[in-house]
Amino acid sequence: MTEIIAILNQKGGCGKTTTAVNLAAALAIYGKKVLVIDMDPQGNATTGMGIEKNKVTKTIYSVLTGETNIKDTILNTEISDLEVIPSNIALSGAEIELSKEVGYHTILDTAIEEIYEEYDYIFIDVPPSLGILTINCLVATDSILIPIQAEFYALEGMVDLLETIKLVERRLKSPSPIKGILLTLYDSRTRLGRDVYSSVKNYFGTSENIFKTTIPRNVTLAEAPSHGKPCIIYDNESSGSKAYLKLAKEIMDKDNSEGE
Ligand X SMILES: Nc1ncnc2c1ncn2[C@@H]1O[C@H](COP(=O)(O)OP(=O)(O)O)[C@@H](O)[C@H]1O
Task: Please report whether residue 188 would count as binding ligand X according to CB under 6 A.
Answer: no
185 near ligand X, judged by CB under 6 A: yes
Q: Which of 15, 50, 86, 180 binds ligand X (CB under 6 A)?
A: 15
R_g over Cα of the chain? 17
16 binds ligand X (CB under 6 A): yes
- For residue 193, state whether it binds ligand X (rule: CB under 6 A): no
Query: Please, are residues 15 and 145 in contact by the beta-carbon 8 Å criterion?
Result: no
Tell me which of ligand X, Mg ion, none is bound by residue 127, counting a contact when its beta carbon lies within the kind-specific cut-off of 5 to 8 angstroms: none
Q: Is 46 in the site for ligand X (CB under 6 A)?
A: no
Beta bridge partners of 181: 146, 210
DSSP string, 120-150: SEEEEE--SSSSHHHHHHHHH-SEEEEEEE-
Task: Report if residue 254 touches ligand X, rule: CB under 6 A.
Answer: no
Of 152-160, 166-174, 193-201, 214-222: span binding ligand X (CB under 6 A): 214-222
**Cβ-based neighbours of 72, under 8 Å, separated by 6 or more:** 58
| CB contact burial 127-142 (16+ within 10 A = b; e otherwise) | bbebebbbbbbbbbbb
Q: Binding segment for Mg ion among 3-11, 17-25, 96-104, 184-192 (CB under 5 A)? A: 17-25
* Contact status, residue 32 vs residue 256, Cβ threshold 8 Å: no
Question: What residues line the site for Mg ion (CB under 5 A)?
Answer: 16-17, 44
Question: What residues line the site for ligand X (CB under 6 A)?
Answer: 12-18, 44, 184-185, 215, 217-218, 221-222, 225, 240
